[in-house]
Amino acid sequence: MEILYRSTRGTGTAVKASQAILKGLSDDGGLFVPEQIPPLDKSLKELAEMDYRQIAYEVMKLYFTDFTEDELRSCIEKAYDSKFDTEAIAPLAEAGGAYYLELFHGATIAFKDMALSILPHLMITSAHKNNVKNEIVVLTATSGDTGKAALAGFAGVEGTRIIVFYPKDGVSPIQEKQMVTQKGANTLVAGIHGNFDDAQTGVKKLFSDRALAEEMNGKGIQFSSANSINIGRLVPQICYYVHAYATLLREGKIAEGERMNVVVPTGNFGNILAAFYAKNMGLPIGRLICASNDNKVLYDFFRTGIYDRNREFVLTSSPSMDILISSNLERLIYHIAGNDARKNTELMEALKGEGRYGITEEMKDNLEDFYGNYAAEAETADEIKRLYQMCGYVIDTHTAVASAVYQKYLKETGDGTKAVIVSTASPFKFTRSVMNAIDGKYDAWEDFALVDELSDLAKVEVPGAIEEIRNAPVIHKKQCDVDQMKDVVKEFLCG
């Protein structure tokens, strides 16, 4: 079955997967969605016998239907290799009565690696398939983790350049160090004076700037997006949910067909949307538990049916979730409206104009599978300490938001369904916040002393990604205001 992709705002014609991957965002500002969600065509038992790469192929072949088997397998082989520090690629750790799906074993120790290690290969393959001769320039706004994962993915990839904008004062010290030490002549990193939403809005503006696109085309350059709105990121994220279920089944931890709940620390809504797709492909998922930090727009949305970004932006210890406009939610809105582009467009216009919209009762009924809650800063810190003291397992701040929300969910519902808590970052990426949660005495310690102490406490080796930046020189020193982003891009590309 060939799958084509349409914009959630519905004006253009349907495009092939490779075209959707190349464009990132549709010309009308909408996001590409598959015309149908394809069902899994292997049984759960068969999947339980497969390794990560095989499962990735079984999932992606259903979506990227204009890729040949060789093309897709080659992309998968290049992505999920020894860059990951474990054969399992995405292992499950049992702790405190739940399963933690560790998605941080890739090059930059956060879950963005799961998709961004394959996206460059999908993009280059897509360019070849469509006879694109232009150089592909990836423009990215990051709340901290996407930036480094995209840099690591695209650095040195021939035919591409990558530009990353991050909020200068809105990422962790380790996140910033990881980005500004990035090597590779095809990379540029700039800190902007503003928050993540400002960076994201600025990048979206560059994408919709027709005059700029034409000027660049004249120089043999075209823009693409590595942000989580790209279908080439969404689909690879479905794979680890299928892999998690297959692992539980293989290890006898779940019966065939028995449901699992998933708990996802959410920002831009990409990760949990992938779980929604997995469920709609037939994977036995029960509730989709959406966890927010103090920026709890999504919690309010699931409770009231009203999405309202008019509120204070809070800087938290889980910066990758400090987001008030969850871009990928647009895909869910489109689906719960019955794949109605007109309705979706109306709501997105309201979001742009008034900063808020409300969904209909009928749409709200379609959200039954979701449960939303949030964890405040103190609750997040308490959860890190609780889990560590109970079983010695140390989680990062984002995972702790999910873990704390799962505890609230249990208390509220008593639902004994097995739970997979998505662990989106290594605790080593947020060492200071993690160590402060465990003991206030660490506040005065220096960053890398904390890293070594964490390694002792958790009995986990310091990841290579951290060792690398210990003494690495800062390469990228650029800073700019939001309205200078276009100049920064032009200067880098045209000299």
Least gap, CB of 146 to ligand PLP (angstroms): 6
- Minimum separation from the CB atom of position 422 to ligand PLP (A): 8
CB nearer to ligand PLP: pick between 191 and 265: 265
Residue number, 336 or 425, with CB nearest to ligand PLP: 425
Cβ proximity to ligand PLP: between 206 and 321 the closer is: 321
Least Cβ distance, residue 201 to ligand PLP (angstroms) = 16
- Summarize as ranges the residues that interact with ligand PLP (CB under 6 A): 110-112, 145, 228, 265-271, 320-321, 398, 424-425
Q: Smallest gap, in angstroms, from Cβ of residue 368 to ligand PLP?
A: 20
Residue whose CB is less far from ligand PLP, 160 or 237 = 237
Smallest distance from ligand PLP to CB 480, Å: 23
- Helix (H), strand (E), coil (C) string for the chain: CCCCEEECCCCCCCECHHHHHHHCECCCCCEEEECCCCCCCCCHHHHHCCCHHHHHHHHHHHHCCCCCHHHHHHHHHHHCCCCCCCCCCCCEEEECCEEEEECCCCCCCECHHHHHCCHHHHHHHHHHHCCCCCEEEEEEECCCHHHHHHHHHHCCCCCEEEEEEEECCCCCHHHHHHHHCCCCCCEEEEEEECCHHHHHHHHHHHHCCHHHHHHHHHCCEEEEECCCCCHHHHHHHHHHHHHHHHHHHHCCCCCCCCCEEEEEECCCCHHHHHHHHHHHCCCCEEEEEEEECCCCHHHHHHHHCEEECCCCCCCCCCHHHCCCCCCCHHHHHHHHCCCCHHHHHHHHHHHHHHCEEECCHHHHHCCCCEEEEECCHHHHHHHHHHHHHHHCCCCCHHHHHHHHHHHHHHHHHCCCCEEEEEECECHHHHHHHHHHHHCHHHHHCCHHHHHHHHHHHHCCCCCHHHHHHHCCCCCCCEEEEHHHHHHHHHHHHHC
Taking the complex as a whole, how short is the minimal distance between the CB of residue 242 and ligand PLP, in angstroms? 17
Q: How far is the CB of 288 from ligand PLP (least distance, A)?
A: 12
